[in-house]
Each structure stands twice: as structure tokens, then as C-alpha cells.
Amino acid sequence: MNAANISVSLRPPALERRLINAAFLANPYPAYQTLREAGPIHWSDEFFGGAWLLTRHADVEMVLRDPRFSAQRTGGWVKDCEGAPGELKGFRRLFSRALLFLDAPDHPRIRKVLNADFRQDVMQRLAPHIERVVTELLDRVEHLDSFDFIEAVARPLPVRVITVLMGIERPQQADFMTWSEALASFIGEPQPSREQAKRAQASLVAMSRYFDSLLALKRQTPGDDLVSRLVAAEARSDIQDGAELLAQCAMLLFAGHETTRHLLGSGLRALLKHPAHWERLRREPDLLPSAVRELLRFDSPVQYTGRRVTTDLMLHGQQLRRGDLVIPLIGAANRDPARYAQPDTLDITRSQGSSLAFGSGPHACIGAALTLMEAKMVFAQLLRRWPGLSLVDAVPRWGDKPAYRGLVTLPLRSGDSA
């Protein structure tokens, strides 16, 4: 046999067992620990046809910061779905232009435009509105002995907040929740099906049609809102019209909704499972900022992301080829004992620095401050209103999308009011 005909694109053996199963969705952290202890890097066939998995904090942070690992991966996700690629052409065109999935020079150009609406002074102006919305949502369940926190608060609140920031009318909010959840179903699946991709495409197209109309209105009558400032950036050529402009509008709605919803649900459950922490926060509300940061570390809403290798390189003795997919497991990194003392213990006074829940480097979450503000306001009101708040179901119902860790429902018993 001619040696020149022998393929050299060999892969190491894939993980012996499937990583993602019912036990993993219920609690991924034991699997992360096993992977981390077995070695720093692993190949898995479960993620988009094959990917390298990284579980250690130092490696995950390096990949999120290093330009050799590209965020421009969405086209591959859509392309690899079952079915004819032509069916998803419109989806690829819009989805691939979102800030989340761009590298330099496009990413810093667009991020500079969006940063203006997530400055601290803008967040402070928005704070009274957030407080009013939280009060309104909790007032609706004030008289009930029990209620589902996800449906009553965690699901509607982020949409109510981001739509005000963007200048969107309230009647559209129910549609946005539905559209956002279809996109989450696609992104959160390690091997999305054709049906999931088509539902996500339909939702993204519906969002875009709405924004087409809204953008036309804002061009005629601009206001003091994010969409109006995107229109102004378009006029200055700081952001391109068409797919690029529409993609930013759609992704801002989607990204803010999923992260905040899951933080609120998972975070509240964690606090109620640790009543000593709940009681301490009731007595010392000034601990809420550090508590929310710890809740993000303890059960990160985003469990992993993806990057494509831009050049051949060696990592922990493994040859990574240009185009290989790398999955930085954020949820695993946030429980790495090399970075955090007693990482499986919830400690609301922890002072070991921020986690990777909001990412790191150029793609660190642009709306992190907004998410933190919403969470602090919700938990503060719950602690004041219902110091005796408790869980109804001992067994939680977690979502089935491994990229996003969040509860489907969270039934609560209000207990005695303050």
C-alpha cells in the first residue's frame, strides 16, 4: 500500500460511554468530575459530529480568550443538521451574523455599538422599571398558598425588561418568549435535528419580520431605546443594515431571556435547599451581590459553548486540526477544585473571584450587569415578602437541553408573609 494514501486525520478513541443521558441532565457535575480527573482533554462524538471537551478552569478560560479558537461556528451547526442545507439558508444567513458568533473585526465593531446600552448609568435608569415589574409579577401570586415560580416570574421577567430596553411594545412579549424558547431548543442541543432547526428558523424569521417593521418605525420616529440607537449606528455605517442589524435585535432578546430565566430558577432552588443561606440573606441583604455571583458559579445557566480551531495546534499532547470543534465545559470549569476551594459547596460569602458563567474575554456576556440586577431585585423581594418560602417538590424538573441548565417548573409554598 502506498503510504501517501493512508489518512493521517486520526482521532483518539471517543469516550467509552455517552456523556449525555437522563442522569447527566439531572446532575451533570459528577460526570464533569470524572472527566476532569481522567484527563484534561477528551474527544466525544456526541457534539455536532465530534468535538474536543475541556473541563478544567484554566483551559476553558484560555479557549474563551485565545483568538486561535473562533466563535464563528454557527454555520456548521445548521449545515450539519439532517435534511437539505437549502431549507435552512435563511436561518444561516441571519444566525451567523449575531454578535455571539462573530470574530474580529466584526465582533469589536458591533460590540462597541451595543456597549453603550449596557453601561452602568443606563442600567441605573432602568432599575426603577425592573423593580416595578418584579413587584407586579409577585403581587399576582401574593394571595396564593403555592405557585410555580418559573411561570409566574422567571419566564416573563427577562422579556419584560429587555423589551423595555429595546423599545418594544408589550403585546409582543408572549411571542418573543415562544420564539426565544425555539432558538434555545436548537442551540442547547448537542446534535440538533432538522425539525429543531426548522422551528428555530421559523422563530428567527418571525422575529426578523417584527424587527423589520419596528426598525422602519424607529427610522421615522427614533426614541430613547436600544433599537433607535442601532438605527443611528446603521446610519453612521457602524453596523450594517439587513441581516447584521436584524441578527443583533433577535439575539439580544434570546440571550437575555435564557440566561436570566435559568439563573432565577436554579438560584432560588439552591438557596431554598440551603435554608441557612436563605436565613442569612434575610438578615444580611447586603450579601445578595456575592450570593448571586456564587449561584452563577454553583449552577451555571450556560453549561458549555463552542469554538472552532483556526490553526493546527497541540493541546495537552493532542493534535487539534484547523476546523476542529472545541467545547469548553463552563459548568465543569466552575466546579474545578484547582480554582475553587470545596467547589461542590454553595458558599454565598465566597471571595475567589468571578466564575466563567458569563464567559471571559471578548465574548463575555454583554448583558451580565442587567442579569445580575434582575436577580438581586427578585431575591430581595422574595426574602422580604416570604421569609418562610419553601419548595413543594423534592425532585426538580430540569430541562432536557444540556447546554442550558434550568428548571422547567419550580413549585413553591409561600409560607408566612413578612
Return phi, psi of residue 240, to 5°. Answer: -80, 150
pLDDT digits (tens, 9 = 90+) for 172-193: 677 888 888 888 888 888 888 8
- pLDDT for res 77: 57
Domain ranges for the chain: 6-70+303-356, 72-299+387-413
- Eight-class DSSP state of 354: -
- Eight-class DSSP state of 302: B
Average pLDDT of span 290-301: 97
Indicate the pTM of the whole model: 0.91
- pLDDT for res 69: 95
**Is CATH 3.30.43.20 correct for 6-70+303-356?**
yes
3-state helix, strand, coil in the chain (%, to 5): 55, 10, 35
- pLDDT for res 94: 77
- pLDDT for res 76: 58
Q: Which residues of 257-275 are buried (b: 16+ CB within 10 A; e: fewer)?
A: bbbbbbbbbbbbbbbbebe
Give the separation between CA 297 and CA 121, rounded to whole angstroms: 26
Average pLDDT of span 313-336: 96
- pLDDT for res 416: 63
pLDDT digits (tens, 9 = 90+) for 75-133: 555 555 655 456 667 777 777 888 888 999 999 999 999 998 888 888 899 999 999 99
Give the separation between CA 219 and CA 221, rounded to whole angstroms: 6
Average pLDDT of span 243-248: 87
Cell numbers linked to 316: 495537552
Sign of CA dihedral 126, 128, 133, 138: positive
What is the CATH code for 72-299+387-413?
A: 1.10.630.10
Q: How many CA atoms lie within 13 A of 218 on its CB side?
A: 23
Average pLDDT of span 232-255: 86
Give the separation between CA 265 and CA 169, rounded to whole angstroms: 26
Give the separation between CA 282 and CA 268, rounded to whole angstroms: 13
Give the separation between CA 331 and CA 304, rounded to whole angstroms: 7
- 325-328 and 307-309 strand pairing: antiparallel
Query: Average pLDDT over the chain, rounded to whole?
Result: 88
- pLDDT for res 119: 86
Q: Angle formed by the axes of helices 243-273 and 288-298, to 10°?
A: 100
Average pLDDT of span 45-69: 94
Say whether pLDDT at 3 is over 60.
Answer: no
User: Range with the lowest mean pLDDT among 51-60, 201-210, 273-282?
Assistant: 201-210
